[in-house]
Structure 1
């Protein structure tokens, strides 16, 4: 799958799944616009993409901020005049149960996981509509479909809403040849899982039918596939990458 001459935007790209998604597109020839809130990690990612021979522009800021959406829009306008793929990956979770969840916690999670995807999509869609093609991929979660005691209620609610937003945009934009899908990871090995003790890790792995945690590359490769021509008849779907922890 070649993405030469393709422009890809990835939010929340400085670590974990988002970083791997950005690097995977770079390895396949894409030019990148990457967003994150940590300047050092963003600079490190830019260097890594350039080592792959790719072009990369950084946008430092909160993906749920209109200012960040405007910065992305300005780079597209001034450098490329088009965008082919948007990956809405920016996200956060809290570990607090319902009775300990504050209003600020609730609103922060909803804003980061859902509002950011709406704002960034809204900023890039005019370019896709004008060019009569484009792909949006929202990084959701298996928790959108089944509760998890290790996630705040706002997390699952925001991801379930993100799956609906995926369907709505897919339906609304199909006439412009724009496809929209979501990827729903299950237990994936990231910097967050490094905080688990051995007992909890074993418990999680035993709950996965494939008896292993996923790798960030598993999510990145699914994202790459959904962005490619091989997936040209797939839209409005939420694809689970979870080792069998949720089956339908």
Structure 2
């Protein structure tokens, strides 16, 4: 178990389901006080109540990360509920598929607004509270798609995730003066509700192309996020950790059986 999580004050966006839910539970199960922020009031309340039933110290609120006023409001609520903020996990994101030739401006704008602009607005809104922490941490959920790999239908998604990596490298320099670190977790294919919507055939093909021969779990990403938020990672900033079971390594599928 990574040290220093007891009573840490943590906000996780996009935390009602999937990777965000896994990240929130990883912190809460280690004794952190966690604020869940999500677009869906219904889903975030259900997750919050389920966590409380497990004895976790959580609160929650609704946030549309692409809307500045909404983000500022939920950040203020998190600080009020938690008594401050030590860790921000900027996880909220979407990945609808759209072929480049037929992608509309609206489809492009929606993905960039949620994934890239939403991360920027969330980080910006939380900086004042993180400056008050003795060891402020920001963990962004990026991806291998965009910064490292590509996949048909995800030009807008890949651009948003590559943009996140560019953002954190400069943000790390600006925030270092306050003792705040900012890093990213870059997941490969993770077994979440969103991935399941791609269909069983897609999930099976993805698992077969991973050297560890399985899709990742939200807990795999959460473990990396907890590490980056811990005192053990206090000298790491502006970096990304790829968590993909070796997915990006083989030159060809044949390499897996060589």
TM over 0.5: yes
**Which residue is 1:117 aligned to?**
119
Whole-angstrom distance in 1 between the partners of 2:190 and 2:80:
36
| TM-aligned CA deviation for residue 175 of structure 1 | 1.8
Which residue number corresponds to residue 151 of structure 2? Answer: 148
Offset from partner CA, 1:183-204 (integer Å, 9 cap, x none): 0100111113323444433321
Q: Which runs of 4+ in 1 moved over 4 A?
A: none
Post-superposition Cα deviations, 1:91-123, rounded to whole Å, max 9, x if no partner, equal: 011211111111011000001101111111111
Matches within 5 A, 1:147-166: 147-149=150-152, 151-166=153-168
Q: Quote the Cα distance in structure 2 between the aligned partners of 1:169 and 1:25.
A: 24
- Per mean C-alpha deviation after superposition, the further-off stretch among 185-194 and 71-80 is 71-80
Tell me how far apart the structure 2 counterparts of residues 204 and 80 of structure 1 sit (CA, whole Å): 39
Q: CA deviation at 1:244?
A: 1.0
Give the aligned CA root-mean-square deviation in angstroms.
1.8
The 5 A counterparts of 1:86-235 are 86-144=88-146, 145-149=148-152, 151-235=153-237
TM-score normalised by the chain length of structure 2: 0.90
Q: 2-side partners of 1:92 and 1:182: how far apart?
A: 17
> What is the Cα deviation at residue 155 of structure 1?
0.2
* Shift in Å, 1:130: 3.2
State whether structure 2 residue 68 is matched by structure 1 residue 66: yes
Q: TM-score, normalised by structure 1?
A: 0.93
What are structure 1's unaligned runs of at least 5 residues?
none
Conserved 8 A contact 2:41-2:61: no
Aligned equivalents of 2:59, 2:204: Cα separation in 1: 40
